[in-house]
Amino acid sequence: MAWVQISPRIFRWADTCNVYCVTSGDRGLLIDAGSGAVVDHLDEIGVRQVEWVLHTHHHRDQCWGTGRLRDHGARVAVPEQERHLFEQAELFWQHKRVYDNYNDRNTFFSLAENVAVDADLEDYGTFTWRDVEFEVIPAKGHTSGSSMLIGRIDGRRVAFTGDLLGAGGVLYQYHAMEYGYADQQGALFTLESLQALRRQAPDLALPSHGDLIEDPVGDCARLEERLMALARLGAGMRFLGRDGGHGLDLLPDPKFIQVSRHLLWGGPHTCSNFYVLLSESGKACFIDYGHSFYAHMGVAQEREDGDTMRFVVHHLDELRETYGVHEMDLVLVTHIHDDHTAGIPYLVRHEGARVWALDEVAQVLEDPAGWCSTPCTLPYPIPIERKLRDGERFQWEEFEFEVHHAPGQTEFHSVLATHVDGQKVAFTGDNVFLELAPGITGDMTAQLYQTTVLRNSLQLWMHRRCADVMDLVQPDLVCPGHRELIPWDSRRAAEYRDFIARKERVVRDLLDEPADEGVDLWWARLIPYLRHVEPGEVCSYRLLLRNNAERAVRLEARLLAPDGWRTSDAFESLDLEAGARGELTLNARAPAHSDIRRILTAEIRVDGETRGPVTEALVTVGDGAG
């Protein structure tokens, strides 16, 4: 093997993958590591010390020699979404499913041993080394967490593309396109990543395998067409997840549907509907902003232990280029769920957008660790500039809004409404949908319904409240969080209320009264749910309580903790009237040593009768090493 000089400061070493070295005097930075053999040949290109190794993805052919480079003083940076597959590789294999496995992702090619990591390569962030600034762009496709690194070196814009594509516009490995059993979702992700690379318009692309790519834009287009030919095969080509592969004209770039002059809809193929209001001043107001396609949620069999959902930017270029938007100014959030909020941190961090939300919604968005006992919380906080009150009216540009607490699909939910182009529009999140279902005669009919997810927190009054909100708002058009838009009138309102009433009758028939005692999963909740504390620290918890009985009750509670923790045996007490809410403060002192993640529970008594350790919280002490 020998070094190949690509430009004055870029060299390639052919190993189990292409290892690229960028030089600055006698210092070097590597893109990927291969076997690590490169460390024995650095002097051949005048490099005395490798300062950093940047990885495009986690596969063994890219990084099985990274530990050797660390031993020689190099620091390591990896895609943020795959950090756990470096630092916790051994733990990954302890939990990796091998029997009854429907997860076909190529994480089977993960490292066998842990590799320490010094820095994240943050999506859409930058990594600066000496005089080179690398942009980190998601390159989802070959792996879910792959990234490409783009920087200006020797007067050219150079992209290090990992295994996204090969010279001539080909895939490196077709089998990597299979994420779930018999699907081809990796092809969808690759299409999006190729489009992102084309928009970056690099002069040169350097892949992990094969020859350098001298026509990156052209090769991206060629591979896009080949993947679209795969999609057009039809049967068995599950690119888009739930929608069965329809709407191929939207691949790989979903487009807005213009509902009216000032109202845009992200379109039926987005993972979760989002909407944009256009002001005459050229500003944009988003109502929610999640993933471009359902497949990005990576749920069920497609998700590995340690994965989080990875957001990829979509629709923003179209806002600028087609609709003349010059400022992504505001995001209004209907509810807390991550499929509707995953893109909001990007808008805040990279577009300077502000976020407003109902106070009931804001409390969870700002403190997800505190509230992550509820499903579908984003793993990092969203800063809320303005907390809105139930029933409040507020102004953005020429639009006057109203907001109402509508605890339907989740307790932490709102309905937002405003007049747009002559009609009253309600943005209803995940509450109300139309769906084809068998009617009275057995024929399929479009039926209106209110969603129910019990773990999202439900008391029966909450859905009645949602019907009241819709009657109060009286929209002409409902813009839901999923599926098609719904023209609304008094007939629809009556149908909606009727469904809620019928469902409540069915539920009450299933349960003893008071029915809410059998419905309300979250009558007791510890906050914060997830935390990290120091050895010996006194921890305070809020125990949120609500009384579903039809009489006043006395509630008593105490914390139960693992060995080494100190808690009081005494119960704290609270008297609540029927239907009322309240909270207690419970304290515990952490042990004097570090410990792995454990759970604390709260034992609760109702009128002197214990219900046991009803609710829990997760806590890690110190560094968690045990």
Instruction: Judge whether residue 104 has pLDDT over 90.
Output: no
Which H helix or E strand runs over 195?
Answer: helix 185-200
Q: Strand 609-621 relative to strand 530-533: parallel, antiparallel, unpaired? A: parallel
| Rounded distance between C-alpha atoms, residue 178 and residue 196, angstroms | 21
Angle, to 10 degrees, between the axis of helix 185-200 and the axis of helix 216-231?
A: 160
Cβ contact 53:62 at 8 Å: no
Question: pLDDT tens digits for 482-505?
Answer: 999 999 999 999 999 999 999 999
Share of the chain above pLDDT 90, in %: 78
Q: Name residue 262's amino acid.
A: H
Annotate 87-117 with b (16+ C-beta within 10 A) or e (fewer).
Answer: bbbeebeeeeeeeeeebbbbbebbbeeebeb
pLDDT of residue 293: 85
Q: Tell me, letter by letter, the H, E, C secondary structure of 270-308.
A: CCCCCEEEECCCCEEEEECCCCCCHHHHCCHHHCCCCCC
Can you tell me the mean pLDDT for 169-192?
A: 88
Which H helix or E strand runs over 150?
Answer: strand 147-153
CA 351, distance to chain mean position in Å, is 18
Q: What is the pTM of this model?
A: 0.90
pLDDT of residue 512: 85
pLDDT of residue 229: 82
Which of 114-128, 155-169, 177-191, 372-386 is the least confident region?
177-191
Cβ contact 264:278 at 8 Å: yes
DSSP assignments along 402-466, one per residue = EEEE--SSSSSBEEEEEEETTEEEEEEETSEEEEEEE-TTSSEEEEEEE---GGG---HHHHHHH
pLDDT of residue 192: 94
Q: From residue 610, how far is each of 554, 556, 588, 606, 615 by CA, in Å?
A: 12, 9, 20, 6, 13
pLDDT of residue 303: 62
Q: Strand 572-576 relative to strand 553-560: parallel, antiparallel, unpaired? A: antiparallel
Question: Residue 438, class by beta-carbon neighbours within 10 Å (0-12 exposed, 13-18 middle, 19+ buried)?
Answer: exposed
Can you tell me the mean pLDDT for 533-548?
A: 96
| Rounded distance between C-alpha atoms, residue 13 and residue 28, angstroms | 13
Question: Residue 512, class by beta-carbon neighbours within 10 Å (0-12 exposed, 13-18 middle, 19+ buried)?
Answer: exposed
| Rounded distance between C-alpha atoms, residue 266 and residue 480, angstroms | 12
pLDDT-derived band at 243 (thresholds 50, 70, 90) equals very low
Question: pLDDT tens digits for 598-618?
Answer: 999 999 999 999 999 999 999
Quick one: how many helices (H) and strands (E) in the chain? 14, 36
pLDDT-derived band at 254 (thresholds 50, 70, 90) equals confident
DSSP assignments along 212-255, one per residue = -BS-HHHHHHHHHHHHHHHHTT-TT---SGGGTT--GGG-SS--
| Rounded distance between C-alpha atoms, residue 449 and residue 308, angstroms | 30
Question: Residue 329, class by beta-carbon neighbours within 10 Å (0-12 exposed, 13-18 middle, 19+ buried)?
Answer: buried
Q: Strand 75-79 relative to strand 538-546: parallel, antiparallel, unpaired? A: unpaired
Three-class DSSP category at 77 = strand
| Rounded distance between C-alpha atoms, residue 4 and residue 352, angstroms | 43
| Rounded distance between C-alpha atoms, residue 411 and residue 460, angstroms | 11
Question: Residue 297, class by beta-carbon neighbours within 10 Å (0-12 exposed, 13-18 middle, 19+ buried)?
Answer: buried
Can you tell me the mean pLDDT for 386-399?
A: 98
Instruction: Judge whether residue 245 has pLDDT over 50.
Output: no
pLDDT of residue 596: 87
Instruction: Judge whether residue 99 has pLDDT over 80.
Output: no
Q: From residue 432, how far is each of 403, 447, 488, 592 by CA, in Å?
A: 16, 10, 11, 51
| Rounded distance between C-alpha atoms, residue 100 and residue 294, angstroms | 24
Cβ contact 545:574 at 8 Å: yes
Can you tell me the mean pLDDT for 211-229?
A: 94
Can you tell me the mean pLDDT for 201-229?
A: 95
pLDDT of residue 268: 86
Angle, to 10 degrees, between the axis of helix 490-510 and the axis of helix 460-473?
A: 170
| Rounded distance between C-alpha atoms, residue 205 and residue 215, angstroms | 8
Total Cβ atoms within 10 A of residue 518: 14
| Rounded distance between C-alpha atoms, residue 307 and residue 298, angstroms | 8
Q: Which domains does the chain have, with CATH numbers?
A: 4-231 (3.60.15.10), 255-510 (3.60.15.10), 523-621 (2.60.40.10)
Question: Residue 583, class by beta-carbon neighbours within 10 Å (0-12 exposed, 13-18 middle, 19+ buried)?
Answer: middle
Q: What are phi and psi of 13, to 5 degrees?
A: -115, 120
| Rounded distance between C-alpha atoms, residue 458 and residue 96, angstroms | 34
Total Cβ atoms within 10 A of residue 202: 22
Instruction: Judge whether residue 300 has pLDDT over 70.
Output: no
Q: Strand 444-450 relative to strand 477-480: parallel, antiparallel, unpaired? A: unpaired
Three-class DSSP category at 620 = strand
Give me the count of residues in the chain: 626
pLDDT-derived band at 333 (thresholds 50, 70, 90) equals very high
| Rounded distance between C-alpha atoms, residue 5 and residue 167, angstroms | 18
Instruction: Judge whether residue 225 has pLDDT over 60.
Output: yes
| Rounded distance between C-alpha atoms, residue 395 and residue 414, angstroms | 17
